[in-house]
Amino acid sequence: MTSQQLGGPTVYLSVVIPCFNEFECLDALYERVSATCRAAVESNYEILLINDGSKDRTWEKIAAYADKDPAIVGVNLSRNYGHQLALTAGLNLCRGERVLILDADLQDPPELLGEMMAKMDAGFDVVYGQREERQGETLFKRGTAALFYRFLSRLVDIDIPQDTGDFRLMSRKALDHLNAMPEHYRFVRGLVSWLGFRQTSVRYSRAERFAGTTNYPLSKMIRLAFDAITAFSISPLRIASHVGIILGLLFMLFLGGVLYSWANGDVVPGWTSIVTIVLLVGSIQLITLGIMGEYVGRTYMESKRRPLFIVDEVRKLSASSMTSSP
Ligand code: UDP
Ligand code: MG
């Protein structure tokens, strides 16, 4: 339970949908998601539509749904915070025992809910959608996405499944732990992988956007990629320190050569001292920078204040069975 959570009775299912300039998608979204929820849990659900500072009439439409349908919770953010933070706001506020994360553009089919619920019934805490193919997305988007997931899995030491978005069903248990992470630069799907617990996937083919255009231009994709890599890895800093140490050692070797030439007397006067100073100072600087990088990296990782571990379950004999006499 988080402090920001909405008041009122809990519901069985929450659907959290960040919306940025999605006016044209909303009607279809509302119909399809409501129908899917009713089929799965009758009226025991809520749909949180988070308006992330849209510039079109998205919020007017969300407010109108919220005024007539008790299952709709409209949340209006003060400005555009970006997809991951809009999503985080919804995840903090929602009350469901289970929560489905969905995009507003219907690229991920809400109808997969039934299958995801069945997997959760079987004991999984996270059921994420894994894309088999992507329709209507440019070769560039598919190519960069594929490259990104492969690059990420090499850099990062936790297992972030390939080709997944944020489309997933999570249990309250997993969600509460996710909400407890205070960090600002959030890469939600990475954090969810970090949580552990029992996770599984359902495979699906990603549809075209229902309407409108993508809100993830290249600049936002690059920012997300940076957030993802830096949130889970200090490898880039470590690359700097490795390069520094290797170059520093090479310089030292070269210095040996310089001194050898000097001893044989075949150099211009003054060259030896200048080159010696440049090489020595250069290598010391690079090595020092590398060492500092290691410390900066550790400070950064520590400053996240993530919990050190999460205990899923503690099993022990109950007090009554321990004291029961034969
Ligand atoms: N979105 C958001 N804030 C933003 C950008 C996007 O809330 O600043 C939402 C958007 O409305 C959609 C989801 O994030 O529900 C994914 O965005 P989009 O479909 O544009 O990304 P793509 O599928 O092209 O990666
Ligand atoms: Mg989309």
Q: What is the pLDDT of residues 189-221, one digit of tens each?
A: 888 988 889 999 999 888 778 877 777 778 888
Atom of ligand 1 nearest to the CA of 52: 7
Confidence of residue 2 (pLDDT cuts 50, 70, 90): very low
In the numeric block, which tokens belong to residue 163? 């080709």
Atom of ligand 1 nearest to the CA of 80: 8
Q: What pLDDT is stored for residue 176 in this prediction?
A: 94
311: exposed, middle or buried (Cβ count in 10 Å: 0-12, 13-18, 19+): exposed
Confidence of residue 326 (pLDDT cuts 50, 70, 90): very low
CA distance 275 to 273: 6
Q: Is the CB of 108 under 6 A from ligand 1?
A: no
DSSP 152-168: HHHH-SS-PPTTEEEEE
Q: Is the CB of 125 under 6 A from ligand 1?
A: no
Confidence of residue 315 (pLDDT cuts 50, 70, 90): low
Whose C-alpha lies nearest to ligand 1, atom 19? 214
Q: Is the CB of 145 under 6 A from ligand 1?
A: no
Confidence of residue 102 (pLDDT cuts 50, 70, 90): very high
- Report yes or no: 201 and 129 within 8 Å, Cβ to Cβ: yes
Query: Is the pLDDT at 49 greater than 90, yes or no?
Result: yes
Q: pLDDT over 70 for what percent of the chain?
A: 92
Q: Is the CB of 129 under 6 A from ligand 1?
A: no
Confidence of residue 32 (pLDDT cuts 50, 70, 90): very high
- Report yes or no: 160 and 205 within 8 Å, Cβ to Cβ: no
Largest CA distance in the chain: 98
Atom of ligand 1 nearest to the CA of 82: 8
Determine the residue type at 226. F
In the numeric block, which tokens belong to residue 119? 């997997």
